[in-house]
Amino acid sequence: MKLNTDKFIFKIIIVFTMIMSCSDIPSNISDDLDQPDLSEQKLDFLGITNKHKLSAASKRALQWSNDQLYNNDWYFEYSVYDLKGDFAYQEGVVRRDPSAIIKHQGKYYTWYTKSIGKTDGFDGDINKDKVFPWDRSDIWYATSEDGVIWNEQGVAVSRGPQDAYDDRAVFTVEIMAYKGMFYLCYQTVGGPYNKRVKNQIGLAWSDNPNGPWTKSPKPILSPTDNGIWKGNDLQDRFSVIKKGDFDSHKVHDPCIIPYKGKFYLYYKGEQMGEAITFGGRQIRHGLAIADHPKGPYVKSPYNPISNSGHEICVWPYNGGIASLITTDGPERNTVQWAKDGINFEIMGAVKATPKAIGLNRTLDQEKAPLEVLRWGLTHEYKNYNYQYIRGFKIKKK
């Protein structure tokens, strides 16, 4: 009798532990990941010699869901092309990091970083110089009838007045159109632009894409404040006593997506004491969620939500969120998808990706996994000083 009671209590503990651990881990991409399929057909498809001697690579391959294995709709190649009008290359002017394209009253709209003049770097007087191509920049916008000839319309959001949190540069902008309102989220730098300066995210809103824009009085997202610099050299961003979270130095490349009744702000984090890993910069993405477009945005406890990537490029697809992971980290050049917007899995691996994509949100994002990439905007370095906005289009195999 005693034995039975013990068994019963043991079972209760097991069930309770399972429920607790499940509730803490959001569900994964595909249920068939949990139980690797060891059927003869699967082993044959993967070309595995001996199912009792599985290499680490074969074990990983057996974890892939059927969707990951057999679905090539996540693969693409791309080409870039020159745009016309004000997006033709202009010596002496930086235009870069285009936002998504939206359509309003029959015209395409995009917003972007614009600055003038060459980059001086950090060796001179940072109070006078332009330290990066995106330093001393403002957010401009342009419209187009056909997506090829673009007409610059003017400044949308400019740097703040002296001593404001955004008094040095506002740049790398994204647009969200939602219920008749327009929201621009963007990077900001305030004060002297030294290598340890923290970068924050600002927001501006308007009921018209032509403005005027109202700026949030405070940033809507800041770096996590848990790293400790080593020494006082403001031009040394690599020396730290403690690195802190993946976004302890900079929050960058914001993009807000209305999702499941909330607002998902995806962003790139830069860490104090950034290292080189897998031959590239140690870059990861994070997520912050709000109930209202204006915030407050609360960082997800699951951050970071990528181990690779660079500029954020995300779109809703099939009830989840898709993400193009470019440039840095072991999973660079992959297209990923998360059915809950948090737990991303690799769906496609590509040879290369356009950089700093401005997605074309006028396309039917739900039609196919990569429909939103059919054509859009990217930027290209003419040289270190000057970048310009170009078009890209993908071709599918």
Residues that bind ligand AAL (CB under 6 A): 97, 134, 171-172, 187, 252-253, 268, 310-311, 356
Compute the distance between CA of residue 366 and CA of residue 315 in angstroms, rounded to an integer.
9
**Nearer to ligand AAL by C-beta: 263 or 267?**
267
What is the smallest separation between the CB atom of 68 and ligand AAL, expressed in angstroms?
28
**Nearer to ligand AAL by C-beta: 48 or 287?**
287
What is the smallest separation between the CB atom of 187 and ligand AAL, expressed in angstroms?
6
The CA–CA distances, whole Å, from 191 to 111, 122, 194 equal 24, 15, 9
What is the smallest separation between the CB atom of 48 and ligand AAL, expressed in angstroms?
40
HEC string of 324-375 equals EECCCCCCCCEEEEECCCCCCEEEEECCCCCCCCECECCCCCCCCCCHHHCE
List the beta bridge partners of residue 377: 358, 391
**Nearer to ligand AAL by C-beta: 171 or 388?**
171
What is the smallest separation between the CB atom of 285 and ligand AAL, expressed in angstroms?
11
Compute the distance between CA of residue 130 and CA of residue 121 in angstroms, rounded to an integer.
7
Compute the distance between CA of residue 132 and CA of residue 325 in angstroms, rounded to an integer.
24
What is the smallest separation between the CB atom of 354 and ligand AAL, expressed in angstroms?
12
Neighbouring CB atoms inside 10 A of 76's CB total: 21
Contacts of 28 (CB under 8 A, 6+ apart): 34, 343, 345
Contacts of 23 (CB under 8 A, 6+ apart): none
Alpha helices in the chain (DSSP H): 2-24, 40-46, 56-63, 66-70
**Nearer to ligand AAL by C-beta: 29 or 189?**
189
Q: Nearest-CB residue to ligand AAL?
A: 172
What is the smallest separation between the CB atom of 313 and ligand AAL, expressed in angstroms?
11
What is the smallest separation between the CB atom of 324 and ligand AAL, expressed in angstroms?
14
**Nearer to ligand AAL by C-beta: 74 or 388?**
388
**Nearer to ligand AAL by C-beta: 97 or 345?**
97
**Nearer to ligand AAL by C-beta: 98 or 316?**
98
Amino acid at residue number 214:
T
